[in-house]
Amino acid sequence: MNFTKMHGLGNDFVLVNGFEEDINDLNELAQQICDRHFGVGADGLVLILPSEIEEADFRMRIFNPDGSEPEMCGNAIRCFGKYVYENSLTDKNKIKVETLAGIIIPELIFEGDEVEAVKVDMGEPRLHSDDIPITGVDKDKVVKEKLDIDGEEYEITTVSMGNPHCMVFVDDADEFPVAEIGPKIEEHPRFPAKTNVEFIEVVNSAEIKMRVWERGAGVTLACGTGACGSTVASILNELTDNKVEVHLLGGDLTIEWAKNNHVYMTGPAEEVFIGEWRK
């Protein structure tokens, strides 16, 4: 099986062209190939597939290192958009991609003939408690909700970008024990589908620093949907403007919650290497 290793701000993926490769046991394959000691090593396995609906150009499936299948991944969709263009699967610079979170539209940004960045229309954020989902509350917006973790009360804001996100504002994102608190929130019984967890330090009205615990993956260097959810949460809490630079461990993303209620994410995607999986 041929594959391409790509990353978006250090959030790395193994991409496989499903037009050419016949792949079985995707859950098991993801666990094997994402293993950083015995496999290629990645935060996810991404499949490029023909769309099953007429409105879209392609279909994206993504699997976490634990074999679970999330609805969407912002960094992966930027890699996906660059891959299909540079591998001549399309000549479009704006691509409609079918995902479990709906149709997502990455737009390629060029510098000369090279793809410099990818801007993605991530769609509208979903804010109702049922859309996250989170139990114990029935609200149009879950802002400053209390969550008990081992007897300590955390103040959370939740957003769905097609996948669930729980945001916690902290004084120092670098020093916060993400690896300790993240999994406890991810698996909290109030999140029946589990959740991604973002810890946000507000730098100023146009900048935030974010650290992430990804559902099914753990600590990663970046999370695109998490950056989108964190921006929405920052705006809902009246802490930032509607366009924000999000500083992640792997680099920066520009996120805008526009007047049309859509969230736009702009950032890089890079190819690392190509290879052949023989297991």
Preceding omega of 177 cis (within 30 degrees of 0): no
- Please give the full DSSP string across 96-145, using - where no structure is assigned: -EEETTEEEEEEEEEETTEEEEEEEE----B-SGGGTT-SS---SS--SE
The response to whether 251 counts as a known ligand-binding position is no
Hey, what amino acid is at 90? Answer: T
The response to whether 261 counts as a known ligand-binding position is no
Distance CA 148, CA 87 (A): 48
The response to whether 123 counts as a known ligand-binding position is no
Task: Give yes or no for a contact between 101 and 161, defined as CB atoms under 8 angstroms apart.
Answer: yes
268 burial type by CB count under 10 A (0-12 exposed, 13-18 middle, 19+ buried): buried
The single residue of 34, 79, 166, 223 carrying the catalytic annotation is 223
The response to whether 237 counts as a known ligand-binding position is no
- Please give the full DSSP string across 181-235, using - where no structure is assigned: HHHHHHT-TT-TT--EEEEEEEEETTEEEEEEEETTTEEES--HHHHHHHHHHHH
Please say if 228 is a catalytic residue.
no
The response to whether 214 counts as a known ligand-binding position is yes
Distance CA 274, CA 200 (A): 35
Residues 6 or more apart whose Cβ sits within 8 Å of residue 151? none
The response to whether 260 counts as a known ligand-binding position is no
Bridge partners for 245 per DSSP: 207, 254
Please say if 223 is a catalytic residue.
yes
The response to whether 151 counts as a known ligand-binding position is no
The single residue of 34, 73, 166, 228 carrying the catalytic annotation is 73
The response to whether 27 counts as a known ligand-binding position is no
Q: Quote the tokens at residue 186.
A: 């991810």
Q: Which residues are annotated as a binding site for substrate?
A: 11, 64, 74-75, 163, 196, 214-215, 224-225
List residues with catalytic annotation.
73, 223
Q: Which residues are annotated as a binding site?
A: 11, 64, 74-75, 163, 196, 214-215, 224-225
